[in-house]
């Protein structure tokens, strides 16, 4: 059974295999020794359970490597789907929302003030058109900045993940979790 | 972090002393009177998560010539376990009261 378990272990991400693979094989070997004397049905039950555990564990780890969270929720309330060393603080999200709200409020306030002030010289069509264009440009620029920032972050995050994975494969010590 | 029954048993196992993977499997089975028998994949999934959350840490097992890795609770892990045990105590107290009230 051990070669079968080893084959299932290959379904895990490489970094995880490096970190826990040998230990898991040791445990599987000890479990195998423990059930050696049991009857065939018990052995089949144990083997099925171990195989199921390895398959679901591999799936869980791949999901985690995609979402960065053990909760497997892309938008976790606790942290926004990143690895622990790159947590996205809730306060930052809150701050960004406050800034966005403040910008929107300022634009609306400016519009209201502009409408309430009597114009000595009634605006002519081209000036109103220019004001509207400025507001539209500001909004488009803001949306563009947010979207491009999100895309940029996504690319950097993906590159970092790939880089860490490759480094851990090249240099085994890089993938090791520090023990205290 | 959500503490499921297997995770709670793992934490309780490590609360007593540092243990390596197979010893944790045996201890969790013993504590649950054979009701919970973790698979190796489930155990290491939980251990990886607990390491990630800094509730436990890895150490080299002292009495092992092969330098086996063992796991032990961190101070934060012990605090969180105490909180979880207090929560369960409260829950069982409420449950006992409710059930007793229903029976009378």
ipTM of the complex: 0.84
Give yes or no for a contact between A77 and A88, defined as CB atoms under 8 angstroms apart. no
pTM, two decimal places: 0.59
Q: Which residues contact A16 (CB under 8 A, 6 or more apart)?
A: A61, B48
> Are the beta carbons of B40 and A180 separated by less than 8 Å?
no
- Taking CA atoms, what residue in B is nearest to A17? B44
Number of H helices and E strands in chain B, helices first, is 4, 2
Q: Choose between A3 and B102: higher pLDDT.
A: A3
From the CA of A177, how many Å to the nearest CA of chain B? 9
Q: Model confidence at A71, in pLDDT bands (50, 70, 90)? A: low
Residues contacting A22, CB < 8 A, separation 6+? none
The answer to whether B76 contacts chain A (CB < 8 Å) is: no
Of residues B75 and A99, more confidence is placed in: B75
- Residues of B within 8 A of A26 (CB-CB) are 21-22, 68
Whether the CB of B61 is below 8 Å from some CB of chain A: the reply is no
pLDDT, tens digit, 9 for 90 and up, residues B65-104: 566 789 999 999 999 999 999 999 999 999 999 988 766 6
- pLDDT, one tens digit per residue, over A49-69 is 999 999 999 998 998 888 776
pLDDT band at B26 (very low <50, low <70, confident <90, very high): very high
CATH number reported for the structural domain that contains residue B26 in this entry: 1.10.10.10
Asked if B68 reaches chain A (Cβ–Cβ under 8 Å), the answer is: yes
Region of residue B78 (phi > 0: left; psi between -120 and 50: alpha; otherwise: beta): alpha
- What does the buried/exposed string (b/e) look like for B10-33 if buried means 16 or more CB atoms within 10 Å of the residue's CB? bbbbbeeebbbbbbbbbbbbebee
State how far the Cα of A25 lies from the Cα of B59, in Å rounded to an integer. 18
Which residues of A lie inside 8 Å of B (Cβ-Cβ)?
Answer: 5, 16, 19-20, 23-24, 26-28, 30-31, 49-50, 52-58, 60-61, 70, 84, 177, 179-180
Packing angle between helix A2-9 and helix A14-35, nearest 10 degrees? Answer: 160
Q: What number is the average pLDDT over the span A142-157? A: 84
Choose the weakest-confidence range: A23-27, A71-75, A77-81, B39-43. Answer: A77-81
| Assigned token pair, A159 | 């590159």
Domain that holds residue B91: 5-103
pLDDT range class, residue B12, cuts 50, 70, 90 = very high
Asked whether A54 and A11 are in contact (CB, 8 A), the reply is yes
pLDDT, residue A87, reads 46
- Whole-number Å distance between alpha carbons of B17 and B71: 9
CA distance A156 to chain B (A): 22
Looking at per-residue confidence, does A79 or A57 come out higher? A57
* Structural domain count of chain B: 1
């Amino acid at each position: 059974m051990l070669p079968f378990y080893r084959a299932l272990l290959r379904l895990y991400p490489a970094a995880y295999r490096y970190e826990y693979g040998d230990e898991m094989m040791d445990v599987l070997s000890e479990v195998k020794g423990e059930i050696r004397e049991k009857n065939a049905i018990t052995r089949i039950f144990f083997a099925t359970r171990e195989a199921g555990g390895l398959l679901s564990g591999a799936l869980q780890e791949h999901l985690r490597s995609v979402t960065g969270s053990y909760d497997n929720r892309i938008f976790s309330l606790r942290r926004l789907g990143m690895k622990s060393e790159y947590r996205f603080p809730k306060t930052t999200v809150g701050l960004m929302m406050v800034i966005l709200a403040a910008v929107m409020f300022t634009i609306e306030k400016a519009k209201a003030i502009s409408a309430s002030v009597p114009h000595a010289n009634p605006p002519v069509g081209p000036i109103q058109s220019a004001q509207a264009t400025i507001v539209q440009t500001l909004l488009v620029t803001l949306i563009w900045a947010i979207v491009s920032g999100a895309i940029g972050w996504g690319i950097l995050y993906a590159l970092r993940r790939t880089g860490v994975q490759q480094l851990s494969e090249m240099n085994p010590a890089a993938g090791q979790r520090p023990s205290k | 972090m959500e503490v499921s029954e297997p995770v709670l048993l793992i934490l309780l196992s490590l609360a007593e002393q540092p243990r390596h993977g197979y010893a944790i499997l045996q201890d969790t089975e013993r504590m649950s009177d054979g009701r919970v028998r973790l698979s190796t994949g489930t155990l290491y999934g939980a251990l990886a998560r607990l390491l990630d959350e800094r509730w436990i840490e890895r150490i080299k097992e002292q009495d092992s010539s092969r330098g086996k890795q063992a796991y032990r609770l961190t101070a934060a892990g012990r605090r969180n376990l105490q909180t979880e045990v207090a929560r369960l105590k409260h829950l069982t107290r409420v449950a006992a009261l409710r059930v007793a009230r229903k029976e009378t």
